[in-house]
Amino acid sequence: MPGEFTDFGDFVQATLPGLLRYGHALTGNPHDAADLVQTVLEKMGSRWTYVHEKTGDPLAYVRRSMANAHVSRWRRTRRENLVADLPDTSPHVPDDPFEHEPLWRALRTLPPRQRAVMVLRYYEGLSEAEIAGALGVTQGTVKSQASKAISSLRMKLTAADIQGEGSDAG
């Protein structure tokens, strides 16, 4: 069979079912197999004289071309991962239970260094020396930042209490 086809149309007609089966084995589905066979046969049709005369076995040449084309396509599209169901586009994020807590709201308004000192001191339980080492400042800076933060928090929380009482009375 290798050298018996001088006409490209006869070659395609005789080998197409086997090429489709081979393509299906390569790609895993009949649709991609048909695309692969068509792509390779299109390229081979324009070079049929060379393939027929020089290779000696056009069917082996086509199969090798199909394998190479499939590997090239796989390399281009391997990052693509087709799935049957689309994942949720917006995962459910639970509400922060402290979102409307006055202390947390006031803490978020502090300057970054004061907020860091307060969190490290009262949430993490670090000493003034440990906070100074973590932030790269002196212990005196830690004390002054903590003092300013506490003073600011007191004012903000007192103001929030006064506004809260006024809205309850109305």
Secondary structure (3-state) at 29:
coil
Cα distance between residue 24 and residue 27, in whole Å: 5
Cβ neighbours of 156 (radius 10 Å): 17
pTM value is 0.45
Name the helix (H) or strand (E) containing 10. helix 8-27
What are the strands, taking DSSP E only, across 16-144?
A: none
Interacting residues of 160 by C-beta distance below 8 A, sequence separation 6+: 102, 105, 106
Confidence of residue 52 (pLDDT cuts 50, 70, 90): confident
**Domains present along the chain, CATH in parentheses:** 1-84 (1.10.1740), 100-163 (1.10.10.10)
Q: Is the confidence at residue 167, as pLDDT, over 60?
A: no
Rg (CA), the chain: 37
Average pLDDT over residues 33-41: 93
Q: Are 59 and 12 in contact (CB under 8 A)?
A: no
Cα distance between residue 149 and residue 118, in whole Å: 7
> If you average pLDDT over every residue of the chain, what do you get?
82
53-109 tens-digit pLDDT:
888 788 888 988 888 898 888 777 666 566 667 666 666 666 767 677 888 888 888
